[in-house]
Amino acid sequence: MNANTPNLAPINQIPNPYGHSLPSYLQADNLGPWGVYLQQVDRVIPYLGHLARWAETLKRPKRALIVDVPIELDNGTIAHFEGYRVQHNTSRGPGKGGVRFHQDVTLSEVMALSAWMSVKNAAVNVPYGGAKGGIRVDPKTLSRGELERMTRRYTSEIGIIIGPTKDIPAPDVNTNEQIMAWMMDTYSMNEGATATGVVTGKPIDLGGSLGRREATGRGVYTVGAEAAHHLGMDISKARVAVQGFGNVGGIAGKLFAQAGARIVAVQDHGGTIYREAGLDVPALLAHVATQGSVAGFAQAESIEPDTFWDVDCDILIPAALEQQITSKNAGRIKARMVIEGANGPTTPEADDILHERNILVLPDVIANAGGVTVSYFEWVQDFSSFFWTEDEINARLVRIMKEAFAGVWHVAQEKKVSLRTATFIVACTRMLRARELRGLYP
Ligand code: GLU
């Protein structure tokens, strides 16, 4: 914590009947993703009125499952991977959230991601709680057969807590439609009946929804355009820098470019590229599709990764991983607006620095909610076995995103708080109101 974070309440001072603070595995003794989430929750508690009585609910995941995922590799050896599924909250409906395959996945990270799903789902008012899953693995090191075996074994292991009315996984970092197809099939084989509604983000031929693949990026663009309007910023003249050029950053970049913006810099795990006149986004997307990274894209200059944060731009879109904008680089950012395509890309210290510098942050829990919103449409379509057109889906998505954004914008103005705190106020109030109405069992 530094001089820029004067308002943080102490995290670990919640009384319980035995005088203990939070269980050790929930304490924010470092600034990992869960610690960041706890700080964000502490900022909202003063605004929860009588519901603050229930606030500790927000600081404890309802259920966390750690599973061993053993598979036989192609060379005959046995490999064990660590898998997780965390259900943070189910007060408003079943758990919902993606599954991430990444070598840095930890329980702390999955807990934070599951909590951000609870907040996100409540913020856009879809009838879900929050959940998240992950496997600690670099999927690029696996063959297709190994990837399939690992996905199926993981699904079978978490099968005791997921289900179409219990907890519905979806894609996240390094997972895609094919992985959702394997998850759906594995769950269905174990159940003895095809259950399309157990996951979303499936291929269209298996009950997937039109528009799901583009939905997160479309939502990022939609709230970005709304906020630009409030700021008096002309998108068609804006310079945009994007970190991560996958399903979120790539689509958002494409939509901003279509609106006339110049995408001047893109960074991903492989490299950082820059072009003052604006990158040719369709050509860059084609390059990434074959090469797996923006690195080596001929029609751009390659720059040092750290200089990405100094790029002269109007809009910055972090759309990769957590904790990218920190107290170390927040003071260098030139943008007028940051749109969080990723989950948790900004630390609380960096949030304060950006706020002081009058840089508007559109927080993840509203900015990237387009994906789960269309996941909700997919789930509804699977249950009703009646499928909507892409125009219907996009129109409903845009309506929900605009309404949710207008709501949190209003709260932010009224209470003079950041958009993140405003979104947490709206979402946590919805969650805790449901908690209070349901009451404690027994
Ligand atoms: N993984 C996405 C997210 O972080 C989507 C989750 C979902 O569709 O359930 O919001």
Domain boundaries, the chain: 61-194
**Residue 16 reports pLDDT greater than 60:** no
Which is nearest to 204 in space by CA: 399, 374, 368?
374
Both tokens of 374, joined, read: 């269309």
Task: HSE, CB side, 13 Å, CA atoms: give it for residue 425.
Answer: 21
Q: How far is the CA of 442 from the centre of ligand 1 (A)?
A: 32
Pair 257, 278: CB distance under 8 Å: yes
User: pLDDT grade, residue 14 (50/70/90)?
Assistant: very low
Ligand 1 atom with the smallest distance to the CA of 343 is 4
CA distance between the termini of the chain = 40
pLDDT tens-digit readout, 213-227: 999 999 999 999 999
The correct CATH number of 61-194 out of 3.40.30.10, 3.90.1170.50, 2.60.40.10, 3.40.50.10860 is: 3.40.50.10860
Q: What percent of the chain has pLDDT over 70?
A: 93
Q: Which of 85, 216, 251 gets mutated to test ligand 1 (max ligand atoms within 8 A of its CB)?
A: 216
For residue 100, which atom of ligand 1 is closest to its CA? Answer: 1
Reported confidence tier of residue 23, pLDDT bands at 50, 70, 90:
low
* Best of 100, 172, 220 for a ligand 1 pocket test (most atoms within 8 Å of beta carbon): 172
Are 78 and 70 contacting, i.e. CB atoms less than 8 angstroms apart? yes
Q: How far is CA 25 from CA 16, 30, 145, in A?
A: 16, 11, 35
- Contact between 200 and 181 (Cβ < 8 Å): no
Bridge partners, 86 (sequence order)? 64, 132
Q: What is the mean pLDDT of residues 203-209?
A: 97
Burial 400-432 (b: 16+ CB within 10 A, else e): bbeebbebbbebbeeeebbbbbbbbbbbbbbbb
pLDDT in tens, 122-171: 999 999 999 999 999 999 999 999 999 999 999 999 999 999 999 999 99
The pLDDT, as a whole number, for residue 335 is 98
Please write the tens of the pLDDT for every residue from 111-123. 999 999 999 999 9
Element (H, E) at 172: none
Q: Please state the atom number of ligand 1 nearest to the C-alpha of residue 375.
A: 8
The arithmetic mean of pLDDT across residues 51-64, rounded, is: 96
Gap from CA of 77 to ligand 1 centroid (Å) = 33
- Region 303-320: mean pLDDT is 97
At 12 the pLDDT is 46
Distance of CA 360 from the midpoint of ligand 1 (Å): 23
Task: Report, as an integer, the average pLDDT of 388-411.
Answer: 98
Per this entry, what is the length of the chain? 442
Structure confidence by residue, pLDDT tens digits, 334-362: 999 999 999 999 999 999 999 999 999 99
Active site residue 132: yes
Q: What is the spatial distance between Cα 431 and Cα 442, in angstroms, rounded to a whole number?
A: 19
- Of 7-16, 162-171, 209-218, 312-321, minimum mean pLDDT range: 7-16
**Which residues' Cβ are closer than 6 Å to ligand 1?**
96-98, 170, 172, 200, 343, 368, 371-372, 375
- H-only helix segments in 45-176: 107-123, 144-158
Question: Using CA of residue 175, residue 381, residue 168, residue 161, what is the dihedral sign?
Answer: negative
- In the reported structure, the alpha carbon of residue 372 is separated from the centroid of ligand 1 by a whole-number distance in angstroms of 5
Cis previous bond, 442, omega within 30:
yes
Catalytic residue among 120, 132, 202, 254: 132
Confidence check: pLDDT of 309 > 80: yes
Confidence of residue 17 (pLDDT cuts 50, 70, 90): low
**What is the DSSP code (8-state) at residue 163?**
B
Beta strand segments in 103-157, E = 130-136
pLDDT at residue 317 in the model: 98
Calpha distance 255→104 (Å, rounded): 30
Beta strands in 26-77 (DSSP E): 63-72
Q: What is the mean predicted confidence (pLDDT) over 398-425?
A: 98
pLDDT for the residue 5: 47
- Per-residue pLDDT at 24: 60
Q: Over range 226-236, report the average pLDDT.
A: 97
Q: Which atom of ligand 1 is nearest to the CA of 212?
A: 8
Of residues 379, 370, 369, the one with CA closest to residue 163: 379
Give distance in angstroms: CA of 332 to centre of ligand 1.
30
* pLDDT of res. 10: 46
pLDDT of residue 22: 65
> Mean pLDDT for the chain?
94
Least confident span in 11-25, 34-48, 124-138, 400-414: 11-25
Q: Give the atom of ligand 1 at the shortest distance from the alpha carbon of 98.
A: 1
Q: CA of 315: how far to CAs of 22, 171, 235, 335, 390, in Å?
A: 38, 26, 9, 5, 28
Name the 3-class secondary structure at 306. helix
With contact defined as beta carbons under 8 Å apart, do 171 and 179 qualify?
yes
Closest CA to ligand 1's atom 8 = 372
Residue bearing tokens 């970005």: 224
- Residue appearing with tokens 């759309």: 319
Name the pLDDT band for 51 (thresholds 50, 70, 90).
very high
Expressed in angstroms and rounded, the spacing between residue 97 Cα and the centre of ligand 1 is 5
